[in-house]
Amino acid sequence: MKMLHIASDYQANNRLLSPLMLAELEKLGQLTIVTRGRSMTDDERAAHIRQHDVLITGWGSSQTPSCIAQDRGQLKYICNFTGEMRGYVLPCHIEAGIPVTNWGDAPAHGIAEGAVALMFTVLQNFRPIGKLVEAGLWGGRTVLPMTLLRRLRVGIYGLGVIGRRFVELIEPFEPVLTGYDPYVSQDLWPASVRRVDSLDALFDNIDALVVHAGLSPETRHSVTAELLAKLPSDGVVINTARGGLIDQDALMAELRAGRLRAGLDVLDSPGFGDMLSMNDPARFYPNVVLSCHDAGLSSWPKRDELEFFHEIALDNLRRFRDGHPLRFFMDIDRYGRST
Amino acid sequence: MKMLHIASDYQANNRLLSPLMLAELEKLGQLTIVTRGRSMTDDERAAHIRQHDVLITGWGSSQTPSCIAQDRGQLKYICNFTGEMRGYVLPCHIEAGIPVTNWGDAPAHGIAEGAVALMFTVLQNFRPIGKLVEAGLWGGRTVLPMTLLRRLRVGIYGLGVIGRRFVELIEPFEPVLTGYDPYVSQDLWPASVRRVDSLDALFDNIDALVVHAGLSPETRHSVTAELLAKLPSDGVVINTARGGLIDQDALMAELRAGRLRAGLDVLDSPGFGDMLSMNDPARFYPNVVLSCHDAGLSSWPKRDELEFFHEIALDNLRRFRDGHPLRFFMDIDRYGRST
């Protein structure tokens, strides 16, 4: 099995192709890593790809040229190690019938746990309490909206693998859950979540909104100013999905006014992506926890083991080698709804 | 049924005897509230108590005089609405056979949820990330020990009702749990927690310590400098129980050095109790979240309903009226192990 990875920059991403993972890939076949893909032409990259059985994509890899859809040469499978596809694989490759997979549910636990962590930090006001402590005071119980998840009315926007894992994690806390996701079949729908059939209905009787939807042209800015206005004073917004799902100007106006509380792992700031500009006053809002796309990451304690997404990629590469069905197969509908 | 409450100050604690609770008590009998108990003699307070069937104690109430143990008059039951007893009821009252109850497991969920919230905030480094954000940077993934609860080795010191509730709440996150509590019978021990028979053994292979023990002469300062030193670098200490359980000087030395991370809802500071002095540098340690005995409180959203501890007290008062067995009966062993 001849495998290829084309890194956009001078070297491959060292988490995507970690030493442990490289050792596993060596057992499966021959891996070629081509670097500086960004300075090559489409035809040059296509020439490399056509000489290999498998193309490995993910963080730091070059976009696969569209001409591969017409002439794939020896290529039989694109294994995208990570989740996001748009920068690495095009719809035309999927429509041309090249098998493409991604990491499927590998990150679901980490992102769901990160959302839980953000939510608790906001509900218990640890940031504003910390500011009171630094100011020489002690505690904020008389001035802050201290909130237990128990009995809280939580609205969940998006119940894919991440949203459903989130539900499993918070069920023991006994919140009152409502959910909206038009794409999840009833047999996958969690029994503890009341289902509503519009985003507007989701906002009818909730204290907190948690966003686990995918970003697509359909969902962009779907959490509008009008919907945010339906949340009660001191209501909570948690977003570990994508910043573009929310009308960020409207959300920031609510946060600047102190009317809502938020835990935001992702943002939608023009020119900055998931960041705020260096002088943005929102960096100092006590009612906002900004976790900088770090929520749910794991770097400690160091463990001498593959990451979950590596295990899924290896499983798929073995399945490909053995002619078995691939997991987390990407069709054009799933591609369209994915971030 | 004649009920009495003696408030130490000019008025009764308005959470202990909330308007909703006062309305419920009126249905049960006649409640007399005596104020400024602290300016009365023991004999004056005893004279009031001897004319009533039930004495209600809890936050803000006066100590019950010891002479009530010898001559209780009409008194048949002391209903302590809250948890802590030592300031309101003496061992001699229990030894004299006066029935005494407290709130039992009422606060277990809130304290356990508060401990979960503190733990996640520390594991995900939201305070130091916030400080980086305020300094104009973005994110801390390359410099901070980002930790998921999944697969984390957590040691739980104390598995009473709060510790066991904590275990129920975190089980879905799939941590690796070890526990120490010599007082919990095997039939109550959670199946997911490996049991060890000494505090020293608890510290053998853990990444995080969570304290849910009661404070007693036996447990005071039981988490020693030597035990804390067994935690790995970047290890975590969570304490929502009592500050006095930990050798605070040793813990503060570890935190000042940045070797450990901590979430502390309670402290053991001479002269300050659960507080730090106004100028204590620990107020600024980024590796510490100080929640000021506020963790797990609930004040938002406002709900027009009794608190859990009121429901337990009402249930016990009805049981007393009807001659049924009381719940959370306090014997001298339980009193001795309680905070």
CB pairs A-B closer than 8 Å? 178
The residues in B 17-46 lying below 8 A from A, measured between CB atoms, are: none
Whether residue B147 and residue A298 make contact (CB cut-off 8 A), yes or no, is yes
* Residue type (1 letter), A183: Y
Q: Do B300 and A234 touch (CB under 8 A)?
A: yes
Tens of pLDDT along chain A (339 residues) come to 999 999 999 999 999 999 999 999 999 999 999 999 999 999 999 999 999 999 999 999 999 999 999 999 999 999 999 988 989 999 999 999 999 999 998 889 999 999 999 999 999 999 999 999 999 999 988 899 999 999 999 999 999 999 999 999 999 999 999 999 999 999 999 999 999 999 999 999 999 999 999 998 999 999 999 999 999 999 999 999 999 999 999 999 999 999 999 999 999 987 777 899 999 999 999 999 999 999 989 999 998 889 889 999 999 999 999 999 999 999 999 888 776
Looking at beta carbons, which residues of chain A come within 8 Å of B292? Answer: 129, 132-133, 138-141
Q: Which residues pair with A5 in a beta bridge?
A: A33, A56
Name the burial class of residue B269, with classes exposed (0-12), middle (13-18) and buried (19+) by CB atoms within 10 angstroms of its CB: middle
For the whole model, what pTM was predicted? 0.88
**Which residues does A285 contact at the CB level (< 8 Å), separation at least 6?**
A255, A256, A258
Q: Which residues of B touch A300 (CB under 8 A)?
A: 145-147, 234
Check CB contact of A232 with chain B, cutoff 8 Å.
yes
Tokens 């007290």 locate to B313
Which DSSP string do the residues of A140-179 spell out, in sequence order? -TTTS----STT-EEEEE--SHHHHHHHHHHGGG--EEEE
Tokens of A73: 């040469």
Say yes or no for a CB contact (<8 Å) between B172 and A173. Answer: no
Reported ipTM: the value is 0.87
Task: Give the C-alpha separation, B72 to B52, whole Å.
Answer: 10
Segment B95-113 shows an average pLDDT of: 95
Chain A residues with CB-CB distance to B262 below 8 A: none
Contacts of A232 in chain B (CB under 8 A): 301
pLDDT at res. A324: 97
